[in-house]
Amino acid sequence: MSLRRLPAGDGALLRIVNAALAEAARRSGEWLACRPGCTQCCVGVFAINQLDAVRLQQGLVGLEKTDPQRAARIRQRARESAARLAEGFPGNAKTGVLDEGPEAEERFAEFAKEEPCPVLDPETGLCDLYETRPMTCRTFGPPVRTEGGLGVCELCFHGATDEQIAACEMVADPDDLQSKLLEKVEKARGARGRTVVAFAVK
């Protein structure tokens, strides 16, 4: 996937989401088990959008200037991961774009559940592109509302009641700024659709 510039509002989006995360973490207290080195959410492929992909690519380009060896390790892990994912990939294994529709969603839900994110450093258990991580990574842990209700990490909120969980809900992007920025990115790239981290940074 080719690198393009991030739209001007991406910095504002990240500030909004980071502030929402900080507030949700404050309300969650000890119920939120997320700590550096916990990799529960880093294993198993997950879908990212084109805005996430560009952000990751820019982060990797920046890392290549400051720590080329670490950047090279990311690219190597990503290439190896993409090769493993190619067989049975629920989409186009050349472009890395996922198929759409209910059947494709079902296939993806059962796909590569044990595959580690290539941006995860296996030695430190830390994200090598943390500052430019995808939106899913920024909102994982605190209660986030989805079609199925409030979702939380299985390691978090042990002993909390439904009411206590609801009181910690994170509303990451109340004005849906991400959708507006995503539309700009897809238009600029001439590409749309979701992908996975390995194909974004290989």
Rounded CA gap, 151 and 149, in Å? 6
The pTM of the full predicted model, rounded to 2 decimals, is 0.92
Q: Collapsing DSSP states into helix, strand and coil, what is residue 53?
A: helix
pLDDT digits (tens, 9 = 90+) for 106-161: 999 999 999 999 999 999 999 999 999 999 999 999 999 887 788 888 899 999 99
pLDDT digits (tens, 9 = 90+) for 18-75: 999 999 999 999 999 988 889 989 999 999 999 999 999 999 999 999 999 999 999 9
Could you give the count of Cα atoms lying within 13 Å of 5 in the half-sphere of its Cβ?
3
Query: pLDDT at residue 188 above 80?
Result: yes
Specify the pLDDT at position 1: 44
- The alpha carbon of residue 84 and the mean position of all alpha carbons in its chain are separated, in whole angstroms, by 19
Q: Which residue, among 194, 183, 202, 41, has the nearest Cα to 104 in the 3D structure?
A: 194
